[in-house]
Amino acid sequence: MAKDKKKKPVRPKALPPKGFRDYFGAEVAERNAMLAEIAEVYHRYGFDALESSAVETVEALGSFLPDVERPNAGVFAWQDEDDAWMALRYDLTAPLARVFAQHRNDLPTPYRRYAMGPVWRNEKPGPGRYRQFYQCDADTVGAASVAADAEICAMLCDTLEAVGIERGDYIVRVNNRKVLDGVLETIGLTEDDVSTREAVLRTIDKFDKVGREGVLQLLTEGRTDSSGARIDGVGLSMAQAENVYYFLNSTGDNNTETLGLLSQLIGSSAKGQAGLNELEDISELLNAQGYNENQIRIDSSVVRGLGYYTGPVYEAELTFEILDAKGRKRQFGSVAGGGRYDDLVKRFTGQEVPATGVSIGVDRLLAALREKGRISSQSKGPVVVTVMDRDRMGDYQEMVAELRNAGIRAEVYLGNPKNFGNQLKYADKRESPVAVIEGGDEKAKGVVQIKDLALGARLSAEIETTEEWKAQPAQIEIKRSDLVEEVRKMIARAEGLG
């Protein structure tokens, strides 16, 4: 009887879940450096940091579907031991509403906070679209004045310039949900026409994708898309639809002209007029602070989030051109958006609490900085202290401690020191600026060899022995007591070459 063959163990695949990715040293360092610059601007404006839980109750997030017993598929959710549903946060605003409602008696009002961190969306991933990504938010809760909205717009300009987006390469566009509500009133849609209003909002959000004819078709009788599928329309008359379209295209050559065009569309609507007054106030406040229309502009085409926001909305767009995947020129596009949301905290307290804020897409902004050459793709690796004699590890650790104490990133080679060439290959792979070498002879003479790897990289493929490395001009002998000073000089020279 043949013996049963042992089954091979089933090993897990070394892959992240679909829609997730890993971030390595240089990418993490770039992100952290940019977030530190943003935090400095937010802090200068008087905002305080807040780190809320990555997990919220689904009740707090408000993400239940009415016809199923599980949370919305848009969030990653699970049931706890007590059958309560919890989920990973999908943005940084819903947790803020919960935090303010919970601690409102202890927090100052207005409460000004900024938050940075990952959020999770249980959505279909695609090219450049991940299920985990970073957001960077700043919000003011408890201030009804549009001065708070104007301040957010000003801070957004300062933030973009602080991280390296030059003036002229961005525009912050401002619109107002109340103005659209006024337009809807003039065409006969009252606040009681909730479902129709929501359908209009969803439709105009597609303006960038389907254009004028597509929007008019969707607002009226519907259209057939490129796949042949029939999409039902909202059911407005063509005259009503044209008025909504005119709202999207009422941006003049300056703010005064834009306000005049919008005024013609809202007629006698009190709510629409309130929205126009807010836009005018924001414009005047920003002018008083020295921001011009080349930085911040009233723009009726900003429609993203109008279904969510209750007043002013704003979007930061980068205007410089890049090449898309097919080599065609296009503008980089939006990297931040926000607005006023006076109803969110009310879910918890039953009372309306005014709030306004902005969210920056961290990955998008990082990509823009790379396009502009504002971020160096070269990683700054550590100085590597090589090991010539494993019995003298204490000497090498002493050297690396001196370098670290002087603020220089450094490490001792901790692999097998037998093959010196492998140590240098390791230093190259780490993108180290300098390698420190001290054999027995150097120790006896009180010297060390330091190798400028940035300068020597061009020759490294041809070098095989320690003697050859010493013969190169990129390697010099220095006094052991001058280690920190000379390494610092060599790093500065390497950075100059980069």
Give domain status of residue 62, yes or no: no
User: Which pLDDT value is given to residue 58?
Assistant: 87
- In three-state secondary structure terms, 136 is strand
pLDDT of residue 190: 84
Helix axes 270-288, 177-186, angle to 10 degrees: 150
Q: What is the pLDDT of residue 379?
A: 58
pLDDT at 65: 39
Model confidence at 48: pLDDT above 90: yes
- Judged against a pLDDT cut of 50, whether residue 229 lies above it is answered with yes
Same domain, 106 and 202: yes
At 258 the pLDDT is 95
Residue 347: φ, ψ to 5° = -60, -30
Domain check: are 201 and 230 in the same one? yes
Report the sign of the C-alpha dihedral through residues 160, 333, 151, 346, in that order: negative
pLDDT in tens, 353-367: 999 999 999 999 998
pTM: 0.84
Residue 116: inside a domain, yes or no? yes
Show which of 313, 340, 371 is a domain's final residue.
Answer: 371
Residue scoring higher pLDDT (111 or 491): 111
Identify the domain boundary among 343, 371, 399. Answer: 371
Query: Is residue 79 one of the residues assigned to a domain?
Result: no
Look at residue 471 in the predicted model and tell me its pLDDT.
Answer: 54
Is 359 in the same domain as 407? no
CATH number at residue 176: 3.30.930.10
Q: What token pair was written down for 110?
A: 């207005």
Mean pLDDT to the nearest integer, 190-203: 86
254-280 per-position pLDDT tens digit? 999 999 999 999 999 999 999 999 999
Q: Answer yes or no: do 322 and 405 share one domain.
A: no
pLDDT at residue 460 greater than cutoff 60: no
More confident of the two residues 195 and 137: 137
Does residue 215 sit in the same domain as residue 98?
yes
Q: How many CB atoms within 10 Å of residue 316? A: 25
In this prediction, residue 69 carries a pLDDT of 47
Q: Are residues 141 and 236 in the same domain?
A: yes
Share of the chain above pLDDT 90, in %: 62
Do 349 and 481 fall into the same domain? no
Q: How many CA atoms lie within 13 A of 232 on its CB side?
A: 4
CA–CA–CA angle 185, 189, 192 (5° rounding): 110
Contacts of 299 (CB under 8 A, 6+ apart): 173, 174, 175, 251, 258
Average pLDDT in the 458-468 region?
A: 56
Confidence of residue 243 (pLDDT cuts 50, 70, 90): very high
> Which among 437, 468, 431, 464 has a CA at the least distance from the CA of 451?
437
Q: Higher model confidence: residue 273 or residue 322?
A: 273
- Please count the structural domains in the chain: 2
**Are residues 146 and 42 both part of a single domain?**
yes
322 or 316, greater pLDDT: 316
CA–chain centroid gap for 9, Å, is 41
Does any domain span residue 439?
Answer: yes
Task: Say if residue 87 is exposed, middle or buried (CB neighbours under 10 Å; 0-12, 13-18, 19+).
Answer: buried
**Is the per-residue pLDDT at 208 higher than 80?**
no
136 touches 35 (CB < 8 A): yes
Mean pLDDT across the chain:
88
Q: What is the pLDDT of residue 467?
A: 61
**pLDDT at residue 377, rounded to an integer:** 53
Q: How far apart are CA 53 and CA 354, in angstroms?
A: 23
Last residue of a domain, one of 371, 398, 433: 371
On the question of pLDDT at 324 being above 90, the answer is: no
CB contact set of 235 (below 8 Å; sequence gap of 6+): 196, 220, 221
Instruction: Specify if 11 maps to a domain.
Output: no
441 and 362 together in one domain: no
Does 59 reside within a domain?
no
How does pLDDT run across 422-434, given as a tens digit for each residue?
999 999 999 899 9
Task: Find the domain containing 349 and state its range.
Answer: 25-54+89-371
Residue pLDDT, tens place only, 99-123: 999 999 999 999 999 999 999 998 8
Which whole number is the average pLDDT over 281-286? 96
Give the per-residue pLDDT at 311. 94
Measured in whole angstroms, how far is the alpha carbon of residue 231 from the centre of its chain?
A: 33
For 62-80, the pLDDT digits (tens) are 754 333 444 456 889 888 8
Residues 109 and 135 in one domain: yes
- Residues 186, 191, 194, CA angle at the centre, nearest 5°? 115
Check residue 110 and give its pLDDT: 96
In a domain, 376, yes or no: no
Q: Report yes or no on 203 lying in a domain.
A: yes
Kindly report the CATH number assigned to the domain that includes residue 422.
3.40.50.800
Q: Where are the beta strands (DSSP E) in 408-482?
A: 410-412, 434-437, 447-452, 475-479
Beta bridge partners of 115: 137
Q: In this predicted structure, what is the pLDDT of residue 391? A: 92
Run of H or E residues at 384: strand 383-385
* Cα 205 from Cα 458, distance rounded (Å): 53
Do residues 220 and 121 both lie within one domain?
yes
271 shares its domain with 414: no
Token pair belonging to 372: 């502009």
User: Phi, psi (5° rounding) for residue 331?
Assistant: -75, 150
pLDDT for 368-422, tens place per residue? 998 888 776 555 789 999 999 989 999 999 999 999 999 999 999 999 998 999 9
